Structure 1
Amino acid sequence: MPAPDSLVVLSQWISAGNTHPNSCYRESIWPLAPLIDNPSTSLLSIRWGHCPAALLDEMKLVVWTMINGQLRPSYLQSRGVRARARVSAPEMLETCREWIRLARWLNGRGIGSLGDCTETEWRAYARTRMVDGRSRDSAERSCSRLTDLWAFDQLSARPSRIPRPPWDTEGVDNFLPAVDGGSGGENSTEPLDPHVLGPLLVWAIRFVDDFADDILVAWAEVRRLTAHVDATPSTPEGRAAVEEFLLPLVDSGALLPSTWHKGRRSLALTYIAAITGASFGQVDRFNQRHRLSDLAARRAGSCPLEFPVTGRIDGKLWREHMDFSEAAELMRHLGTAAAVICLYLTGMRPQEVQGLRSGCCPDPEPGPGGVPGRHLIRNRREENAEDDTPPPHLVRGRHYKNVTDDDGNHVSAGEVREVPWVAITPVVHAIRVLERMVPKGELLLSAAHHDFTHQRGNHGSLKTSALNKRIEDFVAWVNREAKAQGLADQVIPEDPHGAIGTSRFRRTLAWYIARRPGGLIALAIQYGHMRTVLDARTSSGYGSRSRRGIHSVLDIETALSAANTAAKLRDQAAAGEKISGPAARRALTAAADTPRFEGRIVPRTFASKAAKFLARDGVVLYDNPDAFLICAFKHDNALCEPEPGATAPRQYDCQTGCGNTARTDTYARQMREKADEIDRRAAFVPEKLAKRMRRNAGNFRKMADAHDATAQTAEALT
Structure 2
Amino acid sequence: MTSALATFALPGGTWPADDIVILRNRPLRAGTDKAALSRFGDMIWHIRSAHPDAHLNITPLIWSHYPPLFHLPFKTFFLAALDHPYPGSPITVQRGGERAGVATFRYWFMDLQVFAEWLVEAGISRLCDVTEQHLDAYRAYVLALQRKPGRKIDMLAAVRTLWLYGPHLPDEGRLATGYPWPRASDDELKSPAGGRDNKTPRIAPVTMTALLAWALHIIEVVGPDVRDAWVEHQQLRAGTHPSQAELDGLPTGERIQRYIARCRREGTPLPGHRMEDGQRAINFSAIQRMIQTTTGISLTPNQKRTLQDSGLPIAEDTYIGQITGAIDGRPWRDMPIAVSELRNLIRMVAAAAFVVICYLSGARPGEVLNLRPGCRATDEETGELLIVGRRGKGYDRASLPAAGADAEVSPEQRPWVVVTPVHDAIAMLESFGDYAFLFPASFTNAHTKRPNDFNARQVESVTRDLEDFVAWVNSTFGRPGADVPIPPDPTKHLHASRFRRTLAYFIVRLPRGLVAAALQYAHVHTKVTLSYAGWDDSSWMDDIQLETLELVLEQNEQDARLLESGEHISGPAADEYRHRVRTRARFAGRVVTAGRSVDRLLEQTDPNIHHGEAMTCVWRRETAACRKARLEAGLPAEDGPNEAECWLSCSNLVYTDRNIVVQRRLQQQWERAAADQLSPRPRRDRAAALAERSRTIIEAHQARPIPTTSTTKER
Match of 1:420 in 2: 415
1:315 aligned residue (315, 329, 351) = 329
Q: Which runs of 5+ in 2 are unaligned?
A: 1-13, 262-268, 306-313, 402-409, 707-715
1:358 aligned residue (354, 373, 378) = 373
1:124 aligned residue (120, 123, 140) = 140
Note the C-alpha offset of 1:502: 1.9
Note the C-alpha offset of 1:178: 7.1
Match of 2:476 in 1: 481
Note the C-alpha offset of 1:282: 6.8
1:403-414 alignment runs, 5 A limit: 404=396
Cα-Cα RMSD: 4.8
- How far apart in 2 are the matches of 1:112 and 1:508? 53
Q: Please say if 1:396 is aligned against 2:396.
A: no
Q: Please say if 1:621 is aligned against 2:612.
A: no
Note the C-alpha offset of 1:50: 2.3
Match of 1:95 in 2: 108
- How far apart in 1 are the matches of 2:287 and 2:422? 39
Match of 1:211 in 2: 222
Match of 2:235 in 1: 224
Match of 1:554 in 2: 544
- How far apart in 2 are the matches of 1:52 and 1:224? 54
1:42 aligns to what SS in structure 2? coil
Contact (CA 8 Å) 1:71, 1:86: kept in 2 or not? yes
Contact (CA 8 Å) 2:29, 2:52: kept in 1 or not? no
- How far apart in 1 are the matches of 2:520 and 2:583? 33
1:577 aligned residue (556, 561, 567) = 567
Note the C-alpha offset of 1:482: 1.7
Aligned amino acid, residue 703 of structure 2 = A
Note the C-alpha offset of 1:630: 4.0
Match of 2:20 in 1: 7
Aligned amino acid, residue 102 of structure 1 = F
Match of 1:190 in 2: 201
1:443 aligned residue (437, 440, 446) = 437
Note the C-alpha offset of 1:547: 6.3
TM-score, normalized by length of structure 2?
A: 0.74
Residues 273, 675 of structure 1: alpha-carbon distance in 2 compared, 3 angstrom cutoff: farther
Contact (CA 8 Å) 1:44, 1:93: kept in 2 or not? yes
Contact (CA 8 Å) 2:29, 2:49: kept in 1 or not? no
- How far apart in 1 are the matches of 2:32 and 2:333? 45
- How far apart in 1 are the matches of 2:135 and 2:395? 36
2:362 aligned residue (347, 354, 357) = 347
Contact (CA 8 Å) 1:578, 1:664: kept in 2 or not? yes
Note the C-alpha offset of 1:546: 3.1
1:523 aligns to what SS in structure 2? helix
Match of 2:351 in 1: 336
Aligned length: 642
- How far apart in 1 are the matches of 2:275 and 2:445? 14
TM-score, normalized by length of structure 1?
A: 0.74
- How far apart in 2 are the matches of 1:504 and 1:679? 41
Match of 2:406 in 1: none
Note the C-alpha offset of 1:672: 5.3
Residues 183, 424 of structure 1: alpha-carbon distance in 2 compared, 3 angstrom cutoff: same
Which entry has the higher C-alpha Rg, 1 or 2? 2
2:165 aligned residue (134, 138, 152) = 152
Contact (CA 8 Å) 2:66, 2:117: kept in 1 or not? yes
> Per-residue CA shift, 1:16-60, capped at 9, x if unaligned?
956243212222211113422333443441112322334433322
1:523-562 alignment runs, 5 A limit: 523=517, 525=519, 532-533=526-527, 543-546=533-536, 548=538, 550-562=540-552
Q: Which runs of 5+ in 1 are unaligned?
A: 246-253, 291-298, 366-375, 378-390, 405-409, 713-718
**More off after superposition, 13-22 vs 47-56:** 13-22
- How far apart in 1 are the matches of 2:328 and 2:692? 32
Contact (CA 8 Å) 2:87, 2:165: kept in 1 or not? no
1:445 aligns to what SS in structure 2? coil
Contact (CA 8 Å) 2:391, 2:413: kept in 1 or not? no
Aligned amino acid, residue 24 of structure 1 = R
Note the C-alpha offset of 1:312: 1.0
1:700-715 alignment runs, 5 A limit: 703-710=697-704
Note the C-alpha offset of 1:193: 0.9
Note the C-alpha offset of 1:341: 1.0
Contact (CA 8 Å) 1:241, 1:276: kept in 2 or not? no
Q: Percent identity?
A: 25
